[in-house]
Amino acid sequence: MNEKEKLYQERFKRYTTALDCGKPDKVPVVLPLGEWVVKYTDTTLQEAYYYVNKATEIIAGVVGDLDFDAMFGALNLWWPPMHEALGCKQYRFPGFYFEANEGFQYNEEEYMTADDYDDFIANPTKWLTEKYLPRINEEFAEPGSYRASVALVKGAAAFAMHNANNAAAGQKLAQECGIVPAISGMTKAPFDTLGDALRGTKGILLDLRRRPDKVLAACEAIVPHNVAYGMITSAGDTSLPCFAPLHKGAYPFLRRDHWEKFYWPTWKAVIENLWATGKRTLFYAEGDWTPYLDKIAELPDKSIVFCIDLTDAKKAKEFLGGRFCLYGGVPTTMLTYGTPQEVKDCVKQAIDELGSDGGFVLTAGGVAMSDAKRENIVAMLEAAREYGVY
Amino acid sequence: MTKEALAKAMAELEEEQVIELVKGLLGGGTAPLEIVKALQDGMVEVGNRFETGDYFLSELVMAGEIMKGAMDILEPHLSGEGAEHKGTIVIGTVKGDIHDLGKNIVVMLLKGAGYNVVDLGVDVPKEKFVEAVKNTGASLVGMSVLLTSCQGALKDTIEALRAEGLNSKVVIGGNYINETVKKHVGADYFAITASDGLKAAAEVFGG
C-alpha cells in the first residue's frame, strides 16, 4: 500500500465512522467542490464543462495539497454534449445561452400536463419514454424517425463516455490525491421528481388543491423508480450515502398538513427501501427544514445523514443527534461573503454545538457555487483540523 | 352575492366561488373596478395570512392563479376606466438568473395592494432596468435573485442606475439575501419573503 492509498483508507474510515454515528479520531471534513475552483485558473466555465480532462486537472491542481477527508459535488454536474446530441430543452449551459463564465441552469416548464396524470400513473416508464422524452428533447420530436434514432444513439454514446470519464477522474483523484468521494449514486423525493421535472413548481402546487388524489397516486408510482435509480446510479455500492437533493419539502413551500400528506410518506418509503438494502441516504436538506424535524426523526436509526443548511442547528441536534449523522454547519453565504476569521469562528461553533460526541461531518450546508472564495474554503478545512480533534 | 363575499372567497382560495361571484357581480352591474378592489382586499388578507404563518408558498401560488382567472374575466370590461394606483414599481430577476417563482409572488401581492407593477421578466440586463426606470419614473425598483452566484449582477445593476443619476429606492429579494448582501450591493432594502417586499413598498410610497 503506497502513501496515498494509506491516506485514502484513513480518510475513508474517518468519514464512514462518523456516517455511522461513531466517533472517529477527528471530525471528518468534506470539501465542497463547485464552479468556484475554475475562477482561480485561466479556464472558462464553458471549457471546464465541455472538457472533462481539463476539469479533472483543475480540481487536482486546486485541491491536491489541501487536507480534507472526502469531496462532495462536481465541477460539471452534467456533460453538455450529451444534452446537445438530444436537443435538450431543460438545461442551459455556459457559452451558449449564458456567458462563458456563468453556471448552468435548469429551465422549468410544465413538461407533463394535468391531463397526463392517468397515463403516467398507469405506467410511468412507458409514459416517460413515449411522451416525456419527445417533449424535453427536440431531436426526439418524431420518435422512431431517422433523426430521433441517430440522436438516441449519439445521446447514449455520450452518456456512456461521460460515465467512463467520470469514473476515471474519480479513480485518478483517489489514487493520486487520496480523495474519498462523499457520495455514491443519487435519488430524489417522489414529490420533487414530480414537481421539479414533470409538473413544474407552479403546476404541482396548484395540483394539491385541484387534483390531490392524482398527486398522491403519481408520487406512489414514482417510489420504486427512485429506489431503483438510487441503487443503479451507485452501482450497488452501500459504503457511501446516496445523494438526495431535496427541494419542495423545505419551509415554506408546503403547509405542515400538506407536507405530511403529500411530501413525506413517499419520500420516507424511498429512504426505507434503500435502507433495507443497506444503502444510506444523504438527506440534502437545502433551505430550512426546522418545522419537520420531528417527522424526520421517525426514520430508522442511521438511515440518513442529515444536511444542515438553514435548519436550526440546535433543534436538529436535539431531534436527530445520536441517531443520525449530522452534516454541514457552514452556510454557503459565509463561504461567499465571510472572512477567513468568520469562517473559522463558525467552524468552531459548529463543532462545539454539533460534533462534540461524534456522528458529525463538517462541511458547507449547501452546494458551493461559483461565488465561493477559495480562502474561505481553505479556512474551513484548516479550522476543522484545528478544532476537530477528539 | 356581495363584494365582501368575494374578498372572503379570494382569501379562502375558493377558486370556483371566486369566478362565480366575479361573473355574478359583473352581470348585476357592479363596476368592474369595485370588483377588482374586492379581489385586492382578499389578496391583502392572503398576504397577511402568509405573514402570520397560516399560509405557505403553495397558498400564495394558488392565490395568484385565482386572481389571474378573475382578471381574465374582468379585463375586457376595464378598458377605458382609469385605474388609480399607489405608485409605480419596476421589477425583474437580474441577469444570469432565470428563476421567477419568488418574483411572480411579489408582483401578485404588490398588484393586489394597488401598485402599478412593471415586470421585466427574468435574466434582465442592467440596461433594461435603467431604461424601464427612465421610462416610468418608478420610485422603487425590485431586483430578484435566487442563485448566490448571480448576486454580483445586483451590484452591477444598482451601480448602473446610480451612474445614470437615477435615485429610485432599490429593494433586493431572494432566499439567500441578508443585511451583508444588501450592504455589499448597495441596496436600500432587502426582502426574504414577499411580505418583506410589501413592507419596503409601503415605506417608499407611504403605505
- In tens, the pLDDT along A269-326 reads 999 999 999 999 999 998 899 999 999 999 999 999 999 988 999 999 999 999 999 9
Report the pLDDT value the prediction gives residue B1, as an integer from 0 to 100.
Answer: 58
Query: Measured between CB atoms, which of B57, B178, B193 is closest to A205?
Result: B57
Q: How far apart are alpha carbons B207 and B195 in whole angstroms?
A: 13
Q: Per-residue pLDDT averaged across A180-199, rounded?
A: 96
The predicted complex's ipTM stands at 0.84
Query: Measured between CB atoms, which of A255, A333, A370 is closest to B56?
Result: A255
Q: How far apart are alpha carbons B119 and B104 in whole angstroms?
A: 9
Residues of B in contact with A209 (CB under 8 A): 13, 15, 62
Place of cell 435538450: A88
Question: Mutual orientation of helices B32-51 and B3-11 as an angle, nearest 10°?
Answer: 30
Place of cell 433586493: B172
Query: Measured between CB atoms, which of A98, A103, A254 is closest to B56?
Result: A254
Helix residue spans in chain B (DSSP H): 3-11, 15-27, 32-51, 57-78, 101-112, 126-136, 151-163, 179-185, 194-205
A17 or B196, which is more confident: A17
Whether the predicted pLDDT of A220 surpasses 60 = yes
Q: Which residue of A has its CA nearest to B181?
A: A337
CATH of domain B88-205: 3.40.50.280
Contact A333 B152 (CB under 8 A): no
Report the pLDDT value the prediction gives residue A287, as an integer from 0 to 100.
Answer: 87
Most confident of A108-112, A359-363, B113-117: A359-363
Q: Which residue of B has its CA nearest to A99?
A: B96
Residue type, A107: N
Residues of B in contact with A291 (CB under 8 A): none
Share of chain A above pLDDT 70, in %: 100
Report the pLDDT value the prediction gives residue B79, as an integer from 0 to 100.
Answer: 65
Q: Which residue of A has its CA nearest to B54?
A: A255
Report the pLDDT value the prediction gives residue B82, as an integer from 0 to 100.
Answer: 57
Can you read off the three cell numbers belonging to residue B189? 432594502
Kindly list the distances between the CA atom of residue B195 and the CA atoms of A98, A185, A283, B105, B190, in Å, as whole numbers in the listed order: 31, 39, 30, 10, 11
Kindly list the distances between the CA atom of residue A196 and the CA atoms of A27, A91, A347, in Å, as whole numbers in the listed order: 34, 13, 33
Report the pLDDT value the prediction gives residue A291, as an integer from 0 to 100.
Answer: 95
Question: Which value, in Å, is the radius of gyration of the alpha carbons in chain B?
Answer: 18
Report the pLDDT value the prediction gives residue A61, as an integer from 0 to 100.
Answer: 87
Distance from CA of A206 to the nearest CA of B (A): 6
Residues of A in contact with B56 (CB under 8 A): 251-255, 258
Whether the predicted pLDDT of A97 surpasses 80 = no
Write the CB contacts of B65 (distance below 8 Å, at least 6 apart in sequence): A202, A206, B15
Write the CB contacts of B82 (distance below 8 Å, at least 6 apart in sequence): none
> A with B: how many residue pairs have Cβ under 8 Å apart?
67
Residues of A in contact with B65 (CB under 8 A): 202, 206
Q: Per-residue pLDDT averaged across A13-40, rounded?
A: 95
Report the pLDDT value the prediction gives residue A195, as an integer from 0 to 100.
Answer: 97
Whole-prediction pTM value?
0.89
A221, A218, A83, A75: which is closest to A140 by C-alpha? A83
Q: How far apart are alpha carbons A113 and A127 in whole angstroms?
A: 12
Can you read off the three cell numbers belonging to residue A162? 461521460
B161 or A94, which is more confident: B161
Helix residue spans in A140-260 (DSSP H): 146-177, 190-192, 200-210, 212-233, 256-258
Contact indicator for B10, B39 with CB cutoff of 8 Å: yes
Residues of A in contact with B62 (CB under 8 A): 205-206, 208-209
- Rounded to the nearest 10 degrees, how much is the dihedral formed by the CA atoms of A4, A9, A10, A15? 120
Q: Which of A39-43, A51-55, B63-67, B82-86 has the lowest mean pLDDT?
A: B82-86
User: Looking at the domain covering B3-78, what would its CATH class be?
Assistant: mainly alpha
Spell out the per-residue pLDDT of chain B, length 207, in tens. 589 999 999 999 999 999 999 999 999 999 888 898 899 889 889 988 988 889 998 998 899 899 989 989 988 887 655 567 889 999 999 998 888 888 988 898 888 888 999 999 998 999 999 999 999 999 999 999 988 778 889 999 999 999 999 999 999 998 888 888 899 999 999 998 888 898 999 999 986
